[in-house]
């Protein structure tokens, strides 16, 4: 397993993130929305060069802010598709090993609205050109999330074999309870290419450092024993939060 962390979630600048990643042998998960919002951040070419200089690789979180590829409003849906495609090309330029994609929202929970949102999501997944591997992430945190169950995400992945699965263990625990990560792993483990790792107490998306909540990290370590893909720490707490999480997952003191 290759392990990395999200600079945005950790609250670290790129210089500090590259230094920490190089020191610990981690990659960085870049948040594409952050680059759209802040023109001061490096472009794809500069970011790729920073990675080469530091010996640090990347994964990419595709857009999710003010974004909805299942939107019932055509201009919003088209813009979300365009942003996602640009982000995938950004990921290819920085050499990202994979991109993580959310599966859309439908605030209007009427049967026809939900059915139309599913049609739009499926259409978008068909249209996207995948210059990097893309993993669909489990959500189900809020009533507005289009997909509400592990079975729905399984059906979507079976209908779209080009895509992999990103298991977010924190989301799974909130949605399904303490055994949520195991449920997703059992149903979708054959499509697993990436993970998001962070902790919570089972009620809200806290993004705590690993070991600060109630996620079963012993099970996670066992499940990752033979995993050859990538896993990103989406943890708060700055450098200390990253170090604590790496130490718990790898079973060694990094101080």
Q: Which pLDDT does position 225 carry in this prediction?
A: 87
Category of 163 on φ-ψ map: left (φ > 0), alpha (ψ -120 to 50) or beta: beta
Among all chains, which residue has been given the structure tokens 């089972």?
202
Distance CA 212, CA 238 (A): 14
pTM for this entry: 0.97
Q: Flag whether 145 is in a domain.
A: yes
The 10 Å Cβ neighbour count of residue 234 is 25
Q: Which pLDDT does position 253 carry in this prediction?
A: 67
3-state DSSP assignment of residue 249: helix
Q: Flag whether 233 is in a domain.
A: yes
Q: Which pLDDT does position 236 carry in this prediction?
A: 98
Q: Flag whether 243 is in a domain.
A: yes
Q: Flag whether 55 is in a domain.
A: yes
Q: Which pLDDT does position 135 carry in this prediction?
A: 98
Q: Flag whether 255 is in a domain.
A: no
State how many domains the chain has: 1
Distance CA 59, CA 195 (A): 11
Domain coverage including residue 203: 2-250
Two tokens at 35?
């680059």
Supply angle C-alpha 30, 125, 176, rounded to 5. 70
Two tokens at 246?
């790496």
Distance CA 31, CA 53 (A): 20
Q: Flag whether 188 is in a domain.
A: yes
29 pairs with which residues across the strands? 59
Provide the total of helices (H) and of strands (E) in the chain, helices listed first.
11, 8
Distance CA 27, CA 50 (A): 12
Taking the CA atoms of 242, 104, 89 and 44 in sequence, report the sign of the dihedral they define. negative
CA dihedral of residues 17, 23, 27, 28 (deg, nearest 10): 0
Q: Flag whether 225 is in a domain.
A: yes
Q: Flag whether 148 is in a domain.
A: yes
Output the average pLDDT for the chain: 97
| Contact predicate 41/31, CB 8 Å | no
Q: Residue 64's domain is classified under what CATH number?
A: 3.20.20.150
Closest CA to 184 of 131, 239, 138, 234: 138
Residues in the chain, pLDDT under 70: 252-255
């Amino acid at each position: 397993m290759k392990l990395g962390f999200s600079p945005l979630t950790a609250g670290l600048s790129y210089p500090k993130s590259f230094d920490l990643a190089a020191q610990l042998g981690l990659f960085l998960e870049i948040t594409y929305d952050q680059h759209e919002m802040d023109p001061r951040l490096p472009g794809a070419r500069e970011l790729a060069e920073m990675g080469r200089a530091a010996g640090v690789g990347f994964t990419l979180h595709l857009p999710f802010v003010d974004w909805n590829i299942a939107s019932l409003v055509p201009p919003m849906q088209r813009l979300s598709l365009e942003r996602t495609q640009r982000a995938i090309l950004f990921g290819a330029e920085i050499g990202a090993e994979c991109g993580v994609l959310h599966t859309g929202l439908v605030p209007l929970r009427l049967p026809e609205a939900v059915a139309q949102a599913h049609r739009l999501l499926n259409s978008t997944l068909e249209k996207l050109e995948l210059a990097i591997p893309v993993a669909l992430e489990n959500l189900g945190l809020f009533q507005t999330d289009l997909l509400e169950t592990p079975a729905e995400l399984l059906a979507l992945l079976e209908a779209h074999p080009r895509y992999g699965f990103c298991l977010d263990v924190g989301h799974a625990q909130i949605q399904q309870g303490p055994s949520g990560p195991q449920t997703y792993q059992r149903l979708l483990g054959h499509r697993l290419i990436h993970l998001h790792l962070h902790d919570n107490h089972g009620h809200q998306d806290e993004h705590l450092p690993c070991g600060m909540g109630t996620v079963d990290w012993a099970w996670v370590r066992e499940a990752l024993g033979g995993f050859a893909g990538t896993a990103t720490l989406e943890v708060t707490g700055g450098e200390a939060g990253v170090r604590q999480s790496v130490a718990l997952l790898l079973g060694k003191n990094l101080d």
